[in-house]
Amino acid sequence: MQKNPAKQKVIDAASSLFFQKGFQATTVRDIAEKAGANVSSISYYFNSKQGLLEYAVTNYYEEYLKTIEGHLELLETFTPLEILHELIFTIIQYKQMNHQLTCFIQRELSFDSIFVREMAVTYLAKENHYIQRAFYRALDDFVKHDMKEYLFLQFKGMLITPYILHNDWKDQIIGEYSHQIFVKKYVNIIQKWIDFIVDNEGKSIEKQINRYRSAKI
């Protein structure tokens, strides 16, 4: 479906302002001014600022999950490890190309609210299912089940860290080209972490956790 340019301009303006100022501190007039639109047009498209937020986040996740599903379908003939590698790239690229909205959403997810719970039920559960299935399949022959649970938590953390701690990364991202460089470098780091686990058959990681468990006893 072709996007409405005027509507998308409002969404982009709102995403930028929500990222910079937060949802509560951003007014509809702020959004209209940044988008070069009338306040009435925002009411027409989204009814309210809350409606705009819900539309932007819903659209973000629907496009995100559609992108993941499309890539997984294309990769059916690949090995589980190759699929995981490609999935990492797909996820980081999408998040980075929607950097400000991604950072804002991750910040909002840290709060307990009706909106966040709705996101968890509808979109986050589905995202987690896709990622966990790909991760577990790739490590099935190398790591024990209980070890995969620990590693999966680390993996999920790596996928969202740049968007939770975005202030620590801001000096690396200046302009569109630097976004592409960041994606390439960061994806490579996560892929190397996966390859380390596979190449070492999980033994090094397992020893570290066993030492930790022994120290806790």
Helices (H), the chain: 5-21, 28-35, 39-46, 49-74, 80-97, 99-108, 114-119, 125-139, 145-164, 176-199, 203-216
- 107 falls in which pLDDT band (50, 70, 90)? confident
Same-domain check for residues 78 and 170: yes
**Residue 48 DSSP symbol:** S
pLDDT at 157: 95
Same-domain check for residues 195 and 96: yes
pLDDT at 177: 59
Same-domain check for residues 193 and 143: yes
Residue 24 scores a pLDDT above 80 = yes
Same-domain check for residues 178 and 84: yes
Say which CATH number the domain at 167 has: 1.10.357
Say which CATH number the domain at 9 has: 1.10.10.60
Same-domain check for residues 35 and 138: no
Domain that holds residue 78: 56-216
Same-domain check for residues 181 and 102: yes
The Cβ of residue 87 has, within 10 Å, a number of other Cβ atoms equal to: 21
pLDDT at 60: 93
Across the range 134-147, mean pLDDT stands at 84
Residue 175 scores a pLDDT above 60 = no
Q: Rounded to an integer, what distance in angstroms lies between the CA atom of residue 35 and that of residue 84?
A: 38
Same-domain check for residues 109 and 193: yes
